[in-house]
């Protein structure tokens, strides 16, 4: 019998920007946030390490969220943790809110970039 696998999709600014402001959030779920090597790097000699969080959106979709440095630092600041793997385990169960979406040049393309403005524990 074939095991059913969940598709891994990434949170994208363009999609989140289309949602009503009240729906622009994601609850951090297991596994705990972790650092991953960017397999899509154009130059393998310059592989970047990216922070990845699993989040569940309001509609129940489970997605990979790769926060930019500013958002990662904001989450860490609000939750009074650092960005170590051990400290980020405490992030699971918290909800991040994308309260600021800015159109920025990302590798030569204008994209909508998400910024976390708040993090809360929502029961």
Q: Model pTM?
A: 0.86
- pLDDT on residue 13: 93
- pLDDT on residue 85: 95
- pLDDT on residue 106: 85
Q: Which residue has the higher pLDDT, 107 or 116?
A: 116
Is 2 a residue whose pLDDT tops 60? no
Q: pLDDT tens, 17-56?
A: 999 999 999 999 999 999 998 776 666 677 788 999 999 9
Is 7 a residue whose pLDDT tops 60? no
Q: What is the 3-class SS of the chain, one letter each residue?
A: CCCCCCCCEECCHHHHHHCCHHHCEEEEEEEEEEEEECCCCCCHHHCCEEEEEEEEECCCCEEEECCCHHHHHHHHHHHCCCCCHHHHHHHCCEEEEEEEEEEEEECCEEEEEEEEEEEEECC
Percent of the chain surpassing pLDDT 70: 87
Q: What is the mean pLDDT of residues 2-12?
A: 65
């Amino acid at each position: 019998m074939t095991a059913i696998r969940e598709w891994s999709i990434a949170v994208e600014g363009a999609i989140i920007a289309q949602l009503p402001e009240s729906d622009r959030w994601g609850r951090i779920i297991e596994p705990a946030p972790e650092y991953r090597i960017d397999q899509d790097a154009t130059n393998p000699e310059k592989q970047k390490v990216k922070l990845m969080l699993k989040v569940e959106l309001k509609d129940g979709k489970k997605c990979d969220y790769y926060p930019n440095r500013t958002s990662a630092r904001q989450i860490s600041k609000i939750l009074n943790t650092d960005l170590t793997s051990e400290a980020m385990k405490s992030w699971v169960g918290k909800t991040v809110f994308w309260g600021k979406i800015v159109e920025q040049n990302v590798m030569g393309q204008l994209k909508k970039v998400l910024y976390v403005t708040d993090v809360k524990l929502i029961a």
